[in-house]
Amino acid sequence: MDGNYDVAAIRREFPILERKVNGFPLVYLDSAASAQKPRTVIETQREYLSHFHSNIHRGVHTLATQATEAFEGARETIKAHFNAAENAEIIFTAGATDGINLVAGTWGRANLTASSTVLMTRLEHHSNIVPWQILASEIGFKIEVIEIFPEGTIDLEDYNAKLALAPSLVCFSHVSNTLGTINDAKQLTSLAHDAGAMVMVDGAQAAPHMNVDLQDINCDFYVASGHKMYGPTGIGFLYGKRALLDAMPPWRGGGEMISSVSFDVPTTFNVPPYKFEAGTPHISGAIALGAAIKWMESVGLDNIAAHELALTKYAHEKLLQIEGLRIYGTAEHKAGVVSFLVEGIHPSDLGTLLDQLGIAVRTGHHCTEPLMDWYKIPGTVRASFGAYNTFDDVDALVAALERAIKMLK
């Protein structure tokens, strides 16, 4: 136990943490890629599939009603947890990537022109770059990059200078998946709004690690992925302000997103969120995501954040004792992500050897190639923490690294 945080009890809720990998107890340090699942999430999905699976919003029978209630209950859980103003502002998507593509394909296509400018930070994940690049190649708008300082924080002077270009949209990640930097989403949003821009926040790495209050941030769009929040893959959400969602054209066409379809008069569309949820959604995923959020709430996001911060500080201290090791991402406000390189060793060689010792880390560019290019490095080794990680996990990483480095040098 550290303080009141009973990490041993938390670990018991994650069956996967009992397994061995390559003969060693699993040390899972890759939660930024995808978090492991507590029993309540696994059970919720099993319970739904075993007892009340049905399509939703379409049937009058008992199973359809129960499935619809559970699905809409999950939407309510997301709305309440993230403090959206109403359930209609929460659109189920396949994940953060899907949500950003939705905004680009609807709001972006309807509102950006050849003379528009879109700002984004150098920290962005490809998911918050490429959909805008694809649209820019079609429409012809300009993309401008907000520069960062070497420790991984946004250069506010550069941001203000770029805001003077009167951008239509500013895109930034709430937390960097590669460096761990926590951006001040409220401040960045307010500056963007003062300049007349809309704001798209990529919350994929913030939602699992801190309390996020959407009305307080006041951004226009926010996306997150269920699988990083201890929930299933293939489900996530897009938050959008109601007035914007009302005005946006639909995205994918199909069942459920319409009000009326005709060959004779124009087809009309449903209200948000259904306007953006064509086809049968990932019902079990949405319901289990609701369970995952309730699980995070039961531990307390502030407790998870404090625990992960303590692990991060400890990892920095211990790792920096290794000769030739450099940490990328040293912002004062940092989430549980530690990216590093060891002089003379390729990150993927280190990652492979660490795996042989039971340690799961991610290596490579972490879908942030422009950031890696800026640092002039091929990638990093990244250890990332979840609610279930321990100080022993950090010690195991350091010991395995020392062994691996000896083998590689």
| Residue among 95 and 358 whose Cβ is closer to ligand C6P | 95
Among 77, 101, 121, 173, binds ligand C6P (CB under 6 A): 173
Q: How far is the CB of 233 from ligand C6P (least distance, A)?
A: 7
> Which has the closest alpha carbon to 176: 44, 2, 339?
339
> Which has the closest alpha carbon to 342: 396, 395, 406, 394?
406
What are residue 250's phi and psi, to 5 degrees? -65, 170
By annotation, the residues acting in catalysis are 367
Residues 354, 397: Cα–Cα separation, whole Å:
8
CA 137 and chain centroid, separation: 26
Residue type, position 311, single letter? L
DSSP, residue by residue, 180-211 = -BB--HHHHHHHHHHTT-EEEEE-TTTTTTS-
Which burial class, exposed, middle or buried, applies to 340 when counting CB atoms under 10 A from its CB (0-12, 13-18, 19+)? buried
Rg (CA), the chain: 22
| Residue among 96 and 289 whose Cβ is closer to ligand C6P | 96
Express the helix, strand and coil content of the chain in percent, nearest 5 each.
45, 20, 35
Q: How far is the CB of 202 from ligand C6P (least distance, A)?
A: 5
What residues does 119 pair with on adjacent strands? 144, 170
| Residue among 117 and 225 whose Cβ is closer to ligand C6P | 225
Q: Which of residues 247-286 bind ligand C6P (CB under 6 A)?
A: none
Location of structure tokens 């899907």: 98
Could you say whether residue 335 binds ligand C6P (CB under 6 A)? no
| Residue among 307 and 362 whose Cβ is closer to ligand C6P | 362
Q: How far is the CB of 121 from ligand C6P (least distance, A)?
A: 11
Among 339, 366, 372, 396, binds ligand C6P (CB under 6 A): 366
Could you say whether residue 204 binds ligand C6P (CB under 6 A)? yes
Could you say whether residue 362 binds ligand C6P (CB under 6 A)? yes
Binding mask 87-116 for ligand C6P (x = CB under 6 A): --------xxx-------------------
Could you say whether residue 287 binds ligand C6P (CB under 6 A)? no
| Residue among 75 and 209 whose Cβ is closer to ligand C6P | 209
Among 68, 121, 177, 189, binds ligand C6P (CB under 6 A): 177
Where do contacts with ligand C6P occur on this chain (CB under 6 A)?
32-33, 95-97, 125, 127, 173, 177, 202, 204-205, 225, 362, 366-367
